[in-house]
Chain A
Amino acid sequence: MLIPIRCFTCGALIADKQEEFDSKVREGEDPGKVLTSLKVTRYCCRSILLSSADVIDQVLPYYESLAERRSEFSTE
């Protein structure tokens, strides 16, 4: 659901680099170069940062609207 904390293959820490990676790529930088600048050099770690999708972001809106509905219900 969330980015894996460590690389599946080598066990290096990768989760703390995701936010910087995502924001730089969204600004239009080349993903490969961003990864190199973050010192993610092996292709095992690189593939995880490149390909992971945070499914939790698709699930949370339902809980947000649930919380909203609850607060409406309590004020009614």
Chain B
Amino acid sequence: MKNIDRSYANAVRRFIISEVPTMAIDEVVILENSSVLYDELLAHRLGLLPLKTDLERYRLPEKCDCKNPLGCSNCRVLLVLDAHSTDQVKTIYSGDLVSEDTEVVPISPRIPIVKLAPGQKIKLEAYAKLGKGKEHAKWQPVSVSVLTETGKDDEFFLKLESVGSLPPFKILSEATNILYQKLAEVLQKAEEFK
């Protein structure tokens, strides 16, 4: 980044981490779980699965006009997992999750969720929502967002590594958009006090 103030560059870096929304499983209704993992542990693992995100299609639950605590088709996605093992130990992968929206699926189908012994069963409904990194790290779109010096004035190197739910360019453009919106909000409030 050239010809940019350090404070602005750092704001962009921080917005990438904490303000860019991504999709993640937030609520899980467990109908049946006879696996060796506790319900809580299972829900936590599901929450950490990175999901492909479409920011144009979905809205943040607090910004959605449905005002429904359960959400509507514009702010949440239902994923269902129904798996059991019959004769041998079976690994259940993220690919076994069936999503309501074929675009919102885990970024890799080979993430192990749980292993089931013969006779064990898992049946659950998971609700994915958009969320921000400042609320929970599972909604962070990046694993790395670092600003390094180049030695020259007003020039910085921004390194970002996407988790996979959003492409890196989209993350950067979204972060600058949100920053711009927030600054406009501040300006508008300041006008009111004139």
Contact = CB atoms under 8 A, between A and B. Distances in A.
Contact of B120 (A3, A12, A16, A63): A63
Given A13-B108, A18-B112, 7 more contacts: A1-B37, A2-B45, A5-B111, A12-B143, A63-B118, A64-B88, A67-B118
Interface in B155-174: 161, 163-164
A62 to B, nearest CB: 8
A67 B112 contact: no
Given A1-B37, A10-B144, A11-B140, A67 B108 contact: no
Interface of A: 1-3, 5-7, 10-13, 15-16, 18-19, 42, 56-57, 59-60, 63-64, 66-68, 70
From B41, B48, B94, B107, residue with most partner A Cβ within 10 Å: B48
A56 B164 CA distance: 28
B85 to A, nearest CB: 9
Q: Is the interface of B mostly helix, strand, loop or mixed?
A: loop
Contacts of B50: 6, 13
Q: Is the interface of A mostly helix, strand, loop or mixed?
A: helix
A39 B83 CA distance: 31
B112 A15 contact: yes
B114 interface: yes
A23 B110 CA distance: 15
A13 B164 contact: yes
B143 A7 contact: yes
A11 B144 CA distance: 8
Contacts of A2: 37, 45, 112, 114-115
Q: 10 nearest interchain CB pairs?
A: A63-B117, A12-B143, A67-B118, A16-B108, A5-B48, A10-B143, A67-B119, A16-B110, A11-B143, A15-B111
Contacts of B110: 16, 19
A5 B112 CA distance: 8
Contact of B115 (A10, A42, A56): A56
Given A13-B50, A15-B111, A64-B89, A1 B36 contact: yes
Contact of A13 (B36, B107, B119): B107
Contacts of A18: 112
Contacts of B41: 1
B9 interface: no
A67 B120 CA distance: 9
